[in-house]
Amino acid sequence: MPRAIQPIAVALGLPLWAGFFFFRDLSVMSAPHTSSDNAVLICRPDLQGRITHSSDAFIKLSGYTRQELLQQSSSFLKHPDMPAHVFSSLWSSLQQRKPWMGLLKNRRKDGTSYWLNVYIKPVFGADGIQAYGAVYSSPSHVQTARAESSIHG
């Protein structure tokens, strides 16, 4: 894992092994929304799911400005194709103080869609869970095709 990534992983409360999976070369993202500079895609929602922090790369990928994105519900980015049971599973895991991994289909400001692998986990403070930390990476073409197939049959 690049040295610059280690403090980010630690700040999010992520295990360092997560960096090897999620901070790989993101140049495989579908054009024209690509990043070949090992950009870090992170988002930190509060306990109500409102976005309180996002990396510049995550904001750029979404197509929104920082001001438009921050304090929005994280479901603001959710593509309407995404089945409700995926989010039920995600929130159930987080409420049980467990991490969740899976594929999410989001929608950019311009209406186009994009898939991301997500690893999201509770971030603990002195009084228990204080927020959630999410790290994203681009899925493979096989993963995306499989996910699309499961949604559209």
SS3 of residue 82 by DSSP: coil
Under the banding of pLDDT at 50, 70 and 90, the label for residue 152 is confident
Residue 32 has pLDDT above 70, yes or no: no
User: How many whole angstroms separate alpha carbon 47 and alpha carbon 121?
Assistant: 11
Comparison of pLDDT for 32 and 50, the residue scoring more:
50
Residue 129 has pLDDT above 90, yes or no: yes
Residue 116 in contact with residue 57, Cβ under 8 Å? no
Least confident of 32-36, 52-56, 68-72, 137-141: 32-36
User: What pTM did the predictor assign?
Assistant: 0.74
Cβ neighbourhood burial of 2 (10 Å; 0-12, 13-18, 19+): exposed
